[in-house]
Amino acid sequence: MKEKKDILILAIESSCDETAAAVVRNGREVLSNVIFSQIALHTLYGGVVPEIASRKHIEKINYVIQEALDRANVGLKDLDAVGVTYGPGLVGALLVGVAEAKAISYAANLPLVGVHHIEGHISANYIENKDLEPPFICLVVSGGHTHLVVVRDYGKYEVIGRTRDDAAGEAFDKVARAIGLGYPGGPKIDKLSKEGNPDAIHFPRAKVEDAPYDFSFSGVKSAVLNHINGCRMKGETLREADIAASFQKAVCDVLVSHALQAVKDYGIPKLALAGGVASNSALRQAMKDACERERIPLCYPSPALCTDNAAMIGAAAYYEYMNGTRHGLDLNAVPNLQLGER
C-alpha cells in the first residue's frame, strides 16, 4: 500500500459550505476524496448561512474523515501529516476543521500543516496534470476570490491582480439570483447560457486604470440588474437565457484577456485555471481557444476538483510539508489570510 518513501497526508477542508476530507499520496495521487456538500441546506436561504455551516461541519466532520481513511484503506498510523485549510473563509467554519486537525495531530503525534485555501485551489492542478511544475500563471476564480497569481515555485506565490469589488463567482451568484435561478448561481447560469445568445446584449468589460491585471465585476453586475429593471418597466418579457449568456461572455472576455496579458508580460508561457468558476464551460472553452491561438499550454482541474474539496488541500499540504512548513497546536483560523502569509 505504502512505499517507504511515500508521504501520505490526511487533508481537511471546511472553509465554507463543504465538509471535506481526503487522503493524498505524494501530493498528486488521490487515494480518497470525500465531500459532504451543504448546498441543499443553504439553498433554502439563497446563500451560505455561516452559523448553519459551522454547525453542520461539526455534525459531519468525524464521519467524513473516517470515510476518507476507510476509502483510502489507511489508518492514522500510516499517515505522515495532517493538512488543513486555516484561511481564508468563514471563521466559524474554518475553526471546525482546524480544531479537528489539531486534535488528530496531537492524538496521533503527526505534524500539522496549515494550508491557504487558494493555495489549495491552485494545487488542484497538480493532481491530474502530473507534469505541471512551477513557474506558471494561475487564474483563480472562486466564490470569494478572483486572483491572477504568478506561481514562482511550490509554495511561492506573487499575486499580480485581484478583484476590486465582487469575486467572479459572487457576480455569477448575484446575477443568477436576479434572474430567478437560485443558489448557487454559477452552474445554473452556465447551463442556461447554452440556450442563449452571448451577443444578444452588450454588457461592459471593466478595466481598472493603471492596474492591468485587476478585475472589477460590480459594473457588469449592475448593468445586468439595470437591464432587468428596464425590461420590467417597459413590460418586455425577460430573455433569461440571453441575459445569462451575454453576462457570462462579458465576464469570460475579461478573464481571458487579463490572463493572457499576464502570460505575455511575465514571459511565463504556461497557464492554469483554478476555483469554482474554472469549471464554467464557456470560460474553459474561451480560454482553450485563446491559448491554442497563442500556443500557450493550458490546464484546469476537472469540475469536481475546481469547487471546494480536500484533495486539493492534500496536494498543497504535501508541497508545504516538503518545504518544511509545520504549524503548532496554537494554529488558529484566519478568515482573511493573505496568500503567501504565514
Cα–Cα distance for residue pair 303/299, rounded to 1 Å: 12
Using CB under 6 A, which of the segments 41-49, 126-134, 138-146, 203-211 binds ligand KG4? 138-146
Closest distance to Zn ion from the beta carbon of 89 (Å): 8
Closest distance to ligand KG4 from the beta carbon of 277 (Å): 4
Site for Zn ion in 299-318 (CB under 5 A): 308
279 binds, among ligand KG4, Zn ion, none (CB under 5 to 8 A by kind): ligand KG4
Is residue 122 a contact partner of residue 140, using CB atoms and an 8 Å limit? yes
Site for ligand KG4 in 276-335 (CB under 6 A): 276-277, 279-280, 307-308
With CB under 6 A as the contact rule, the residue among 157, 172, 217, 247 that binds ligand KG4 is 172
Whether the link from the prior residue into 135 is cis, omega within 30° of 0, is yes
Closest distance to ligand KG4 from the beta carbon of 257 (Å): 18
Residue 280 cell numbers, joined: 464554467
Indicate the length of the chain as a whole number: 342
277 binds, among ligand KG4, Zn ion, none (CB under 5 to 8 A by kind): ligand KG4
Phi and psi (nearest 5°) for 340? 95, -15
Cα–Cα distance for residue pair 168/30, rounded to 1 Å: 28
Q: What is the 3-state secondary structure (H, E, C) of 183-237?
A: CCHHHHHHHHHCCCCCCCCCCCCCCCCCCCCCECCHHHHHHHHHHHHHHHHCCCC
3-state class of 309 per DSSP?
Answer: coil
With CB under 6 A as the contact rule, the residue among 100, 166, 190, 242 that binds ligand KG4 is 190
Burial of 180: CB neighbours in 10 Å, binned 0-12, 13-18, 19+: exposed
215 binds, among ligand KG4, Zn ion, none (CB under 5 to 8 A by kind): none
Q: Is 97 in the site for ligand KG4 (CB under 6 A)?
A: no
With CB under 5 A as the contact rule, the residue among 19, 85, 105, 142 that binds Zn ion is 142
DSSP class of residue 296 equals -
The smaller minimum CB distance to Zn ion, of residues 196 and 301, is found at 301
Q: Is 275 in the site for ligand KG4 (CB under 6 A)?
A: yes
Burial of 231: CB neighbours in 10 Å, binned 0-12, 13-18, 19+: middle
Give the binding-site size for ligand KG4 (rule: CB under 6 A): 19
Cα–Cα distance for residue pair 14/107, rounded to 1 Å: 20
Whether the link from the prior residue into 88 is cis, omega within 30° of 0, is yes
Closest distance to ligand KG4 from the beta carbon of 147 (Å): 11
301 binds, among ligand KG4, Zn ion, none (CB under 5 to 8 A by kind): none
Closest distance to Zn ion from the beta carbon of 6 (Å): 27
Closest distance to ligand KG4 from the beta carbon of 282 (Å): 8
166 binds, among Zn ion, ligand KG4, none (CB under 5 to 8 A by kind): none
Which residues form the interface with Zn ion (CB under 5 A)?
142, 308
Which residues form the interface with ligand KG4 (CB under 6 A)?
16, 142-144, 169, 172-173, 184-187, 190, 275-277, 279-280, 307-308
